[in-house]
Structure formats: structure tokens, C-alpha cells
A and B are shown apart, each in its own frame.
Chain A
Amino acid sequence: MSTKEAVVFSIGWNACINCGACVAVCPKEAGFISDFDTIAVHEPCDIACMHCEAVCPVSTISHTMASALNGQMLEEHVGNHFD
């Protein structure tokens, strides 16, 4: 369900099967992708339709409200998921 508030996505990389379904269903412009060809995790999504989370076969996409993250926290937020 859409939150209609900008969000930042996180991928549980351990479960991700790199299938590309999240990118396929994404209505954002070209390039809203991560280095691992998933939905972008390094920038906020202002559409927040959540279709990427819904279509993920293994439900390994989650999100945090962008408003809850300032720049520094965003960096840490993304960094945590690459550890």
C-alpha cells in the first residue's frame, strides 16, 4: 500500500535473488536502481507506491520514511545493509 510519503528502501541482500522484478514494476524514471540491479537504496523514492515491495518473490525489500532520516542517518542506513 502506498504511503504517499517519500521513503528509502532497504534490501535484505541475503535473501535477494537478483531477479529484477522490483525494477520492472517501478514507475520511476530510468536509473532508479542499485549497483546490484535492484530498486535504488541510496536515494529517497517520492512516489512510494510500494509495488517493488509487493512484487518481490521473497519479500526482502523494506523501507524507512525519508523524513525519519537526515543525510547522515541515510548514509548510515544504506551502509548498514552493505555490511
Chain B
Amino acid sequence: MQQHAIYNGNGEKKVIDYRDLKPDEYGTKEGTKPLGYVVDRRRFDRYLATQAERAGVEIWLKTEASHFRTLDDGSCEISMRKFNEPVTVRAKVIVGADGVQSQVGKWAGIKTHIKLSELASCLQFVVDGVETHGLLEIVTGHEWAPGGYAWVFPKGHGYAEIGLGVTRTMCNDNAQSYLDHFIKHSFFKERFKNCRVIEIQGGGVPLAAPLKQQYADNVLLVGDAARHVNSITGGGIHTALSSGKIAGEFLAQLIASGKPATAENLQGYHDNWLKAMGNNMWKLYRVKRDIFDTADVVERDERLYKTMSDYFGPNSEYKKI
């Protein structure tokens, strides 16, 4: 999205609306770019699966892998259960795209553990009855979301998402309590008064450094599994898509070369990823860490508000990450 309103804890805001800033470039007029995308994950994932299937991918549903072992010829065998029946598959390489709770990385001995201080605990409601004006609204401030931020996002069709993420080492209550407090007591309470919750979603968002090693013999990791998440925004869909593309292109070349998928031969994926986006993601992580390490709450709030406002501004050095 290219239109944002960033709030501090008191409700003061900075609006960054590219429909006003660059009306010839962004908007709905012919020849302009879309303002951005808000995705419905269920429909979006179905679309991606369809694209993959039409390109020749074989999709197995109700199948869960439990472990793998490397074979003498350098390939590997993955043990699975498919509709409760045990099945094994041989492959040259496994791409671990199994999310923040990744088990694939653990199988391969990659250090994937996330510290409690770096996993944002998030909860959101999809609601009816809240006007959004097409703005992505971000509310900073320790009172509303310690170690994270609260949000109101347009969902289309008259729906909105109201949610927040908190860092549990920086507060004494859970995300649900903070969300309840935000809805009932924030400067948006009148606006939220008649909202009707129609869906509850949540999750852990890794506001952590990208994994220092994202590959091992027969394995590489992409997306949340490799902590490819923007530490400032918590965004991870576009970064996961990009890392998946980098991995796919790299592996196509590796397999065509006939080389085995050893850790040494997979390092090129990590190098490509660092060059394309990883180095900037590391920078973002350091910025976030610096803010959240600020002991004084008032100063920390001010720094987060300024950083978020600058991040979405037209002169941001981090655009497109």
C-alpha cells in the first residue's frame, strides 16, 4: 500500500498518502500504478497454488513430512505421512518454506530458534463496521502495543483488520488483552464502538535477524522459516515471495549443472539473497533492535514513531523492502 497514517501514542498523526504526493504516478486513473495490495491469504494462497500447479508442480495435500536423511549419492529421502499412510520421496534438495514454526531447519541442524524477545505475539480481528478511507493506519506507543504496533488496515468489501503485535518480554499481558484495551480505550474507541468481529487471526511474527545460515546439506530455507521478515513493519509476504524466487532460480541452475545439493553448493543462494534484499533486511533489524533496546519508554516511543513515519515517507531508503 502507498498510503499510510502513522500515529503516536497520543493520537497525533503523520499522513503519507501517495494519492496526494504523486497523483500522476499512483492511484486508479489510467496509466497509474496500483496503490498496493491487501491480500486475503486463503484466496491468495489458492491463486499461487493454481499458478504452480499449472506450471507443472505436483501438489500433495494432507501430507506432512517428519524427517529426512541424506543418501550416499548426495540426494535425500524424506519421510512423510500422506492421508495417514507412510510414504517416502527422494529429492535432490528440500526447500523449507514451512513458516515461522519451521521444523525443516531443525531437521538439518540449522540454528532456527527465535528468542521470546524477538517473536512478536500478534492478534487481529477482521471486522465489519469500521471505515478505513483506504489508509494503512499504524499506531505506535507503549500503552497500545509494547515492542510492536497496533494497526487498522482496509480489507476491502467494507471490512477492516484491527490488530496488534506485542513483544512479551516488554509487557505483562497477552496480545488479546492489549487488543481489547486498544479497541475499548484508545483514541479510536468511538470509531470502533460499533465494529462487529467476524474473524480472529493471530500468529508469531519474527522481528528477528535473518538466519545467519539458511542452508545445509540438501536443505535451504525461505520466507518466515529463514526469518525473511521486515523487522520494522513485520511484513513478510513480499519478502518470502522474493526469496522463493531467488531460491527457485538458483536451484534451477544448480540442478542443471548436475552438482549435488551440498551445503557448500547451496551457499550461492544465501549470497544471492543477501545481495538482492538480505543486507537491507539486516539493516532494518539493527534499526529495530536499536529502538527496542532504548530503556526510556518515552524516548523509545518517539524513536519508533519517527522511524515508522520516515520508513513510509517518499524519501525512505528502505522502500520496496
Question: Are A and B interaction partners?
Answer: yes
Q: CB within 8 Å of B: which residues of A?
A: 17, 19-27, 29-31, 33, 37, 51, 54-59
Among candidates B100, B168, B200, residue contacting A24 with C-beta atoms closer than 8 Å: B100
Q: Are B121 and A57 in contact (CB under 8 A)?
A: yes
Complex Cα spacing A24 to B202, Å: 13
Instruction: Choose among B101, B102, B107, B201 the residue with the greatest number of A CB atoms under 10 Å from its CB.
Output: B101
Given A55-B116, A55-B121, A59-B176, are A21 and B106 neighbors across the interface (CB < 8 Å)?
no
Q: List 10 A-B contacts (CB under 8 A).
A: A20-B99, A20-B101, A20-B204, A24-B99, A37-B101, A54-B116, A54-B168, A57-B175, A57-B176, A58-B202
B307 interface contact, C-beta 8 A: no
Complex Cα spacing A24 to B103, Å: 9
Q: CB within 8 Å of A: which residues of B?
A: 66-67, 99-103, 106-107, 113-116, 119, 121-123, 168, 174-176, 200-204, 206
Task: Give the residues in chain B near A57, CB-CB below 8 Å.
Answer: 121-123, 174-176, 202-203
Q: Specify the main secondary structure of chain B where it touches its partner.
A: mixed
Q: What is the CB-to-nearest-CB distance from A16 to chain B, in angstroms, rounded to a whole number? A: 10
Instruction: Choose among A22, A24, A26 the residue with the greatest number of B CB atoms under 10 Å from its CB.
Output: A24
Count A-B contacts at CB 8 Å: 77
Q: Are B204 and A30 in contact (CB under 8 A)?
A: no
Q: Are B99 and A31 in contact (CB under 8 A)?
A: no
Q: What is the CB-to-nearest-CB distance from A32 to chain B, in angstroms, rounded to a whole number? A: 9
Task: Give the residues in chain A near B100, CB-CB below 8 Å.
Answer: 20-21, 24
Q: Are A33 and B116 in contact (CB under 8 A)?
A: no
Task: Give the residues in chain A near B174, CB-CB below 8 Å.
Answer: 56-59
Task: Give the residues in chain B near A37, CB-CB below 8 Å.
Answer: 101
Task: Give the residues in chain B near A21, CB-CB below 8 Å.
Answer: 100-101, 119, 121-122, 202-204
Q: What is the CB-to-nearest-CB distance from B130 to chain A, in angstroms, rounded to a whole number? A: 20
Complex Cα spacing A23 to B224, Å: 13
Given A24-B204, A30-B106, A57-B176, are A51 and B116 neighbors across the interface (CB < 8 Å)?
yes
Complex Cα spacing A16 to B52, Å: 31
Complex Cα spacing A51 to B122, Å: 15
Task: Give the residues in chain A near B115, CB-CB below 8 Å.
Answer: 25
Task: Give the residues in chain B near A51, CB-CB below 8 Å.
Answer: 116
Other than the known A21-B202, A57-B122, what 9 A-B pairs have Cβ atoms closer than 8 Å? A19-B204, A20-B101, A21-B122, A22-B204, A24-B100, A24-B119, A25-B204, A55-B204, A57-B121
Residue on B nearest A49 in the bound complex, by CB = B116
Given A33-B103, A57-B174, are A25 and B119 neighbors across the interface (CB < 8 Å)?
yes
Residue on A nearest B124 in the bound complex, by CB = A57
Q: Are B66 and A31 in contact (CB under 8 A)?
A: yes
Complex Cα spacing A76 to B209, Å: 41
Complex Cα spacing A72 to B190, Å: 53
Q: What is the CB-to-nearest-CB distance from B279 to chain A, in angstroms, rounded to a whole number? A: 24
Which 10 pairs of residues, A with B, have the shortest CB-CB distance? A21-B204, A30-B106, A23-B101, A20-B101, A57-B175, A19-B203, A57-B123, A57-B202, A24-B100, A51-B116
Q: What is the CB-to-nearest-CB distance from B206 to chain A, in angstroms, rounded to a whole number? A: 7
Residue on B nearest A27 in the bound complex, by CB = B113
Residue on A nearest B116 in the bound complex, by CB = A51
Q: Are B101 and A29 in contact (CB under 8 A)?
A: no
Q: Are A24 and B107 in contact (CB under 8 A)?
A: no
Q: Are B66 and A24 in contact (CB under 8 A)?
A: no
Complex Cα spacing A23 to B114, Å: 10
Task: Give the residues in chain A near B106, CB-CB below 8 Å.
Answer: 29-30
Task: Give the residues in chain B near A19, CB-CB below 8 Å.
Answer: 122, 201-204
Q: What is the CB-to-nearest-CB distance from A11 to chain B, in angstroms, rounded to a whole number? A: 14
Task: Give the residues in chain B near A29, CB-CB below 8 Å.
Answer: 106
Complex Cα spacing A14 to B100, Å: 22
